[in-house]
Amino acid sequence: MNSQGSTARAAAAFIDDTSSRSKPSLDDGRDLALVELVKWLMADGYRFTTVTPLTHERVNRRPENQLAKDMAGIFGWSRPFKEHVVPPRVLDLMSAAGVLRREEQGWSSAVRVSTINGLAIVHSAFPTTQEDSVFFGPDTYRFVNEITGHLSACGRPIRRAVDIGCGAGPGAMTICLGRPEAEVFGVDINPEALRLARVNAYLAGVTNLVCRRSDLLRGVEGDFDLIVANPPYLIDPAKRAYRHGGGLHGAGLSLSILDSALTRLAPSGSLVLYTGSTIVNGVDGFRKEVETRLRHPEYTWRYREIDPDIFSEELLCEAYADADRIAAVVLTVNRK
């Protein structure tokens, strides 16, 4: 495969691990090639809505879907493909970006590209089995919609915001684009997630995103007018960081985020936490813990169950033997 040529001389406009508003170059050759690849896809009319892993697996299992026939099959459904399916330019860019993988049936892509509200988001290919996988799925669409709704309803200035566990960055970028005057942090423990968040920020034309490696908010200074999070909330036997939510049927990490956020909300600041809660014998254990933590009159809050039954296949696992269902919930906290 040929190199990406002039791609390596392109400039990006993202904020790296600094609070400065300067615009450093995106000088990693593979990232530049990845940017050019996604630009080509979008210019070609590419669109893809990412589904749950179970739906993805079932659709790909159909005999007619064993090999990709188009760009959505390659970069959305993560199907292997024959070389003749893509233009040589695309193969060159995939090779230069380090995402072209040799398969028994031909080639495949190491990344997926999902679209949401006109944005292209690069994340890990299906199946997301690696420890450093960067996940994107139906929860992401719900999360972004919740942030968009909050920004529309919020009449207060947002000077500083943070997305805890930002992943590929769609939540943080939604704030960046909705509040371009704000300094927005995207923090994650996964370096690969932060790398893709920077790439995605460039693709979105975002210039006010600070990508920083952090466990919760450790090492990130100051208070925030808006804190958002869409943490993992399932019980994963392998304890992969992008999927495992810890104790209380997977709600442990969500509670840790709540605890951390309550110490860092600025006066009149808000937390928007999208997560999942396991209902056992009709009882929402996560909500009970939330109620205990938010008894202080300094906070007002709202708890909504926005989807009563998600990831039903998880109920087949031993860890959920006592569960009725898993619900998608949104907790909004406002500090007075």
**141-to-27, 148, 303 alpha-carbon distances in Å:** 30, 11, 19
Mean pLDDT of the chain: 91
Which single residue is written with the structure tokens 């006066």?
Answer: 267
Residues 75 and 170 grouped into a single domain:
no
Give me the count of residues in the chain: 336
Within-domain flag for 265 = yes
pLDDT at 247: 74
Give tens-digit pLDDT for 128-178. Answer: 988 899 999 999 999 999 999 999 999 999 999 999 999 999 999 999 999
Does this model's pTM top 0.85? yes
Would you give the DSSP letter of residue 208?
Answer: S
**How many domains are there within the chain?**
2
Average pLDDT over residues 250-266: 95
The percent helix, strand, coil of the chain (3-state, each to 5) is 35, 25, 40
Average pLDDT over residues 56-64: 98
**In the predicted model, is pLDDT for residue 104 greater than 80?**
yes
CATH number, domain with residue 171: 3.40.50.150
Q: Which of 119, 128, 112 is nearest to 147 (CA)?
A: 119
- The residues, ordered by sequence, that sit 6+ positions from 114 with a Cβ below 8 Å of its Cβ are 48, 49, 50, 76, 120, 121, 123, 136, 140
**In the predicted model, is pLDDT for residue 7 greater than 70?**
no
Q: Which residues pair with 274 in a beta bridge?
A: 330
Average pLDDT over residues 298-325: 95
Q: How far apart are the C-alpha atoms of 333 and 336, rounded to whole Å?
A: 10
The SS3 of residue 144 is helix
Residues 177 and 311 grouped into a single domain:
yes
Buried b / exposed e along 263-283 (16+ C-beta atoms within 10 A): ebbbeebbbbbbbbbbbeeee
Q: Which domain holds residue 108?
A: 23-124
Residues 107 and 170 grouped into a single domain:
no
Residues 162 and 237 grouped into a single domain:
yes
Within-domain flag for 293 = yes
**In the predicted model, is pLDDT for residue 5 greater than 50?**
no
Within-domain flag for 129 = no
Within-domain flag for 17 = no
pLDDT at 12: 33
Write the single-letter amino acid at 31. D
